[in-house]
Structure formats: C-alpha cells, structure tokens
C-alpha cells in the first residue's frame, strides 16, 4: 500500500487568476499571470510539458508572502502566441521573458525560479542580463556545462556532456529527430493530451501519487492542439539541426547566487544533476534534496518550494519594501 503524500496547498480553480497579454516582439504576445503587484518581483518560468499552470499552487502563497509573482507562458505555449515564422529556441524564450519583466512591467531587478526548459532559460537570462537578476532557484533540469573544467568532471567520474536522459528518454528522440512522424501519429486532441499525460504518469517523471485525475486534465488541456504541442518540441530539435537565433549562454559558470533543489524521484533528469551543479554555480546554496518529489517539484512539493522561496528572496523583498 502506498504511503500518503505530504499535504499540499490547495489548487486554485483554472480561472483563479487574471490572464494578461503583452507584446514582447513583433507579432509575439506572451500571456502571463501577475499577482501581488508592488512586491519584490519573482518570475516563475515553466518547462516542458508544462505551461504557467504548473505554478498554480505557488502563485497565491508567494503573493501573500509579499512578492509580485509573474508567471508567463513561453512563446508557443498555453495562451501565448504561436510564432508565425516557427521561431522557437532558448534565447528567444529568454529575451521574451526579459522584455516582459523589464521593458513591459518595468522591473529593473528581479528573481527567477524554474526547472526543466524554464531552468535553462533562466540560466541564459541570468548570464545575458546579469545586472538585472538578483538570485535564482534552479531544479531538475540540465545543469550548465563548463568545458574549461573538463578535468573536474573527469575527477568526479562524469562525462563533460550529460548522457541521454534517464531510462524513458526516448521522447527526446521522437520530439527532436522524428517529430514529423510523431506529429502524424498524434492526430487527435485526445492523443496529443495522452502524449503529455505520459510524462506526468508512466514515464516516471513525477513522484508516485503526485498527480490525480483532475490534475492530469488541468495540465494536458493546453496541449490538445497539435500546433501548440509541436511548437513545444522545438528545444529538442536544436541538437538535430534546428536553426537557432543565437547560442544560449549555458556553457559557462553562472555567477548569479543560486539555490539548487533536486527532486530525487525524477527518472528523466540524470542522478548526477546535483554534482554537476556544484561546478556550474560557484555562488550556490545546496544542492538540497526535496524528498517525495520528482521533475515537477514546484507542484509535487509546493509546500517546500513556497517556503524555501519565501525565505531565500526575503532580504530582497524586505529591501524593496523599505524594511531592511
């Protein structure tokens, strides 16, 4: 018999938060949630196969803790625009988010939280705009690779470049190299949603029992449209020849102070993730292991992430409020 999971914050209804939209590039509008306006800005960046909905358990608690919580859908995801030119890559995601937070919403400095693709986007954003990112929380994704530290990797028994992700990593090949064939197979909304559900369920990304039937419905609904699902595969195609607007800044050490979290029930991110973060983030806290969590740590252990984030950014929050 499975053990009961730790109780989590209540999941707000799907329409709990107002959805805003802003143009961040010609012909490209991002959809986003913005709660707690006036507090220190925290930007929560989703990955794949996620949308802003993966942060639904985090938005209200962090806003109530005194933060302005900004949660965008990356281009092509959720309620954001699809690119008419099929332009999707990590740097475009990063620049979109920066334009939204800095240029549109007017924040000179802010904090970042993200995992999966969102974590990599945040690394690029922090390295590209270091004067504007104060701190980050980073979890369950690909750690930055630091080629000049090849000897360190070897001494730790690690390859310089991480090996294929986990025992269920075939999705990367299907979405990256064989995406046209996969697109033909997913020829109904139900099949599109099932492909995404598999990542939350039998592909073993999440801790057992972390998602219930209503949660699967909530997370998969935005991917019922094959155009949006296929757009989300773009990062996986970069290693198979998809053109990039420019190289992401993810092959260097990241100086931004960063709290590293790791959900050990994740069977898609290699178990050497925490060790790789030790060299990639010289100004780090952690790595800290969050039990009974996997890839979707922000949902699976929202109770932990909310409290850790509240504390980690509290000095910045208090300073912004004039309490320091």
- pLDDT (tens, 9 = 90+) of the chain, 324 residues, equals 456 889 999 999 999 999 999 999 999 999 999 999 999 999 999 999 999 999 999 999 999 999 999 999 999 999 999 999 999 999 999 999 999 999 999 999 999 999 999 999 999 999 999 999 999 999 999 999 999 999 999 999 999 887 655 556 788 899 999 999 999 999 999 999 999 999 999 888 999 999 999 999 999 999 999 999 999 999 999 989 999 999 999 999 999 999 999 999 999 998 999 999 999 999 999 999 999 999 999 999 999 999 999 999 999 999 988 865
Q: Residues near 314 by Cβ (< 8 Å), separated by ≥ 6?
A: none
**Predicted local confidence at residue 163, as pLDDT:** 62
- The sign one gets for the Cα dihedral 70, 73, 79, 83 is positive
The DSSP bridge partners found for residue 23 are: 29
Exposed, middle or buried, 2 (CB in 10 Å: 0-12/13-18/19+)?
Answer: exposed
Exposed, middle or buried, 230 (CB in 10 Å: 0-12/13-18/19+)?
Answer: buried
**Predicted local confidence at residue 1, as pLDDT:** 44
The DSSP bridge partners found for residue 42 are: 69, 111
Residue owning tokens 């139900």: 190
**Predicted local confidence at residue 165, as pLDDT:** 54
**Predicted local confidence at residue 25, as pLDDT:** 96
17 DSSP assignment = S
The pTM for the full model equals 0.96
**Predicted local confidence at residue 322, as pLDDT:** 86
Phi–psi pair at 14, nearest 5 degrees: -60, -30
Could you tell me the end-to-end alpha-carbon distance of the chain, in angstroms, rounded to an integer?
49
Q: Can you list the pairs that 171-180 forms with residues at least 24 positions away whose Cβ atoms lie under 8 Å? A: 171/198, 171/199, 171/203, 172/236, 175/233, 175/236, 175/237, 176/233, 176/236, 176/237, 176/238, 176/239, 176/240, 177/237, 177/240, 179/230, 179/233, 179/236, 179/237
So where are the chain's domains?
Answer: 19-158+244-320
What CATH number does the domain located at 19-158+244-320 have? 3.40.50.1820
């Amino acid at each position: 018999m499975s053990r009961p999971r730790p109780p989590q914050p209540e999941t707000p209804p799907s329409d709990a938060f107002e959805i805003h939209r802003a143009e961040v590039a010609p012909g490209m509008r991002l959809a986003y949630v913005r709660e707690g306006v006036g507090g220190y800005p925290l930007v929560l960046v989703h990955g794949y196969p996620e949308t802003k909905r993966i942060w639904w358990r985090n938005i209200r608690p962090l806003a109530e803790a005194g933060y302005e919580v900004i949660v965008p859908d990356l281009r092509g995801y959720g309620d954001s625009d699809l690119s008419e030119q099929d332009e999707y890559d990590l740097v475009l995601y990063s620049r979109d988010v920066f334009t939204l937070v800095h240029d549109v919403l007017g924040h000179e400095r802010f904090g970042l939280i993200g995992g999966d693709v969102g974590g990599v986007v945040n690394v690029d954003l922090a390295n590209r705009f270091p004067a504007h990112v104060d701190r980050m929380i980073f979890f369950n994704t690909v750690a930055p690779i630091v080629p000049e530290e090849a000897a360190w990797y070897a001494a730790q028994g690690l390859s310089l470049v991480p090996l294929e992700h986990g025992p269920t990593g075939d999705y990367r090949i299907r979405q990256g190299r064989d995406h046209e064939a996969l697109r033909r197979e997913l020829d109904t909304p139900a099949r599109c949603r099932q492909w995404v559900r598999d990542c939350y369920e039998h592909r073993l990304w999440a801790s057992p029992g972390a998602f219930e039937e209503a949660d699967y419905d909530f997370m998969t609904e935005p991917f019922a449209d094959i155009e949006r699902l296929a757009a989300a595969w773009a990062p996986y195609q970069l290693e198979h020849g998809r053109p990039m607007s420019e190289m992401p800044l993810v092959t260097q050490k990241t100086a931004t102070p960063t709290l590293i979290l790791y959900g050990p029930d994740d069977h898609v991110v290699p178990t050497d993730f925490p060790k790789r973060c030790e060299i990639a983030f010289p100004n780090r806290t952690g790595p800290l292991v969050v039990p009974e969590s996997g890839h979707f740590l922000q949902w699976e252990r929202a109770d932990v992430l909310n409290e850790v984030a509240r504390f980690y950014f509290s000095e910045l929050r208090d300073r912004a409020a004039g309490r320091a």
